[in-house]
Structure 1
Amino acid sequence: MKALEQAVGVDIGGTNIKLALVDSNGSILNKAVMETGNAWERSSFYLKLYNKIAEILKPESSWQHIIGVGIGVPGLVDSARGHVFYAPNLRWDGIDLKRELADHIPTSIRIGNDANVATLGEAWMGAGVGEENIVMITLGTGVGSGVLINGQLYTGQGVGTEIGHMVIDSKGPKCVCGSRGCFETLVSAKAIATRATEIIGEQISKKELKKVFASAKKGDANATRVVNETATYLGIGIANIINIFNPSKLIIGGGISMAGNVLIEPAVEVAKEYSLKAALERVTVVRAQLGNDAGVIGAGGLFLRGESNDKN
């Protein structure tokens, strides 16, 4: 029997980096986590990344046994060139990541935006299996997004989609991108924590949002108001996505998605008010299924599913 092809998937986060050895069935054979550390000290960072990849390749595999390393980066990425325009959490600005990594990693390399590769993971092995037209949004510290059209990752002229910077309220909060009222400024973990602090009257951190959602489930008035206001903005964003992309499935991932139906159900009800009926009837809104593994599976899938503009 022919051996399954293997690739390494790397999901770079601001705090931690997840790595996995993935086969062409989408199965994780080995995985590891390392601290992101001072990623801006790139030479030492690349060496640490090489060593951690080598660690998960042992003992059964080696560099010769994998067809490449796929990497998801939290920032604006030109996937065709492997160029990172801007990754603020890593302090990367205008980095030719693929070219620089090629001096350290002895195999083919493909780069993608982290939300794009998570979308690929869900399409391959998670909530989007069997679907050709998918939009995924990741609700966490920020709001990421990925789009599959006719089974292919949509990257536009290289950068892809930044649904988190779709303007929902032109007079809304200032965004890090320089605009106002971006989707991210209204439904991210940071935005919800700010809203909760204002409504509840005490400091609420992002880590305490689970308690807010739990209180809303129990009927607490202030917590319910926080959730309902968030659901309104989320629902408007979902409607915009449905009207623009006409997907068969809209997948909601990221830490905020763990709030579950207390947030997602009212958001879908709001979306119904603003969506075109013909598009709404053809879409299903679901939570992501792969959790923290979506990024590494999708990054491996940059090779194992052939989803790349760069065939080198």
Structure 2
Amino acid sequence: MPIDGLWSIGELAERAGATVKTVRHYSDRGLLPEAGRSSGGHRRYGPEALDRLLLIRSLRALGLPVPEAGRALDGPEALEEAVSGQLREVGDRLAELRWREASLRLVREAPEERRSERLRLLGAVPVPPDTTVLARFWRRVLPVRLPGRVVSSVLDAVVPGTPAEPTPEQVLAFARLHALVSGAGLGPAELRTARPLPDGEYRPAVLYEGLTEVYGAAWDAVRTGRDAAGAGVLDGFVAAYARALGVRDTPAFRVRLTELLAAHEGPLMVRYWKLAPVLFGPDEPVLGLLHHRLGASLRVQVGELTA
């Protein structure tokens, strides 16, 4: 080190294993502290500049842009925030790559006569995919009078997430689901049949809050190896509809309810709940399947009552 304990820009660059151009760039951006100037007006740097330069180079090697690397020098919290941001970005890139890999495998493994169809399906899905279209579909299906908290709860339960490490089967299911809910033919008539009861004839919040509780009990039964429609769960299912319609639970109402459920089990929702389960995790309840099992149990019971 020179007598004054300071280095020229070239000496600093040499010690850091960087180019003079790089050091000058960082210095011009105010990222490297100058300890002074030589008699000729040249920049002089001390050990602090070397430490900061080495840190910037390390952050740049981890993929942080220069502005982010510069902000990370402001203290421990700034460094943690910058690294966390980069981790999120890397995670997004990995998710995109995994989705692309599964999509390519899906095309490669498809029979030749199905490849064009699958390519068209995949081409309509953004990469990485998101569930915006699915959520928008459900917002159109749900009653307009439903409170916001109930809407959020329903969306959390019926919109599957995108798998972190998708299989080709999951990519295909998502692409088909995406095509289903974004179809041009989803008019008011189709959406009405997707709703649990005729518009204007029931109290939506009462029904959805009641069904949320019932589905929770049904899922607990399934997880413990019991009948989803047993131990009062089916009675709770019927009671939720009865309360929403403002009527009593009677044998005659149960017959009527089977007819209402059949009328609102159109091809749109049947198709949705055939595709969606592939995308839910093993520990996530699939409400469409629980609803189907409860409805089927009710039909059996009604059949026994009317036999």
TM beyond 0.5: no
Task: Name the structure with the higher helix share.
Answer: 2
TM-score by length of 1: 0.30
Q: Which has the higher contact order (CA 8 A, sep 6+)?
A: 1
Pick the structure with greater CA Rg.
Answer: 2
TM-score by length of 2: 0.30
